[in-house]
Amino acid sequence: MTDERRRRTLVVDGSTSYVWTVRHRHGDGRPCQEVLTLHRDGVRTHLVFRDGEGRYVGSVAYGHSGGVGDRHHHLNLNEPGVVRAFVDEAVKRELLPYNGELDGWELFTAVALSRAAAATPEVPPDCPPGP
């Protein structure tokens, strides 16, 4: 991806459209941040992920632009499926539409777990229970 501010469109339920962008920002002594912006019907919601204790954002160490994570999970904000999961979680919590900034970490664990569950195939019926 050559332009991290590229505007992309996500269509939910065949009728609701969000234009979304991902960008990295920092400055003024603040920690690095990854920002997922969702724009719909004139309302801009910024999900902000700030670098901090036990959390990382952006291209730290072996990371990449749009990458956010903690000690247990990693998400790529450039993936439409990840963005869709954040939209779904924010709608479920009645946070959208919201004009302003929201702490993306508040949604992070729920989204990471839902993405992991979606990526895990079902256990065969004859498989013994886990530990």
Q: Is the pLDDT of residue 130 over 60?
A: no
What's 131's DSSP letter? -
The first and second tokens of residue 2, run together, are: 């050559």
Q: pLDDT tens, 76-125?
A: 999 999 999 999 999 999 999 999 999 999 999 999 999 888 777 776 66
Q: pLDDT tens, 35-61?
A: 999 999 999 999 999 988 889 887 665
Q: Please state the domain extents for the chain.
A: 8-114
Asked whether the beta carbons of 43 and 81 are under 8 A apart, the reply is: no
pLDDT of 117 reads 81
Break the chain down into helix, strand, coil percent, rounded to 5: 20, 40, 40
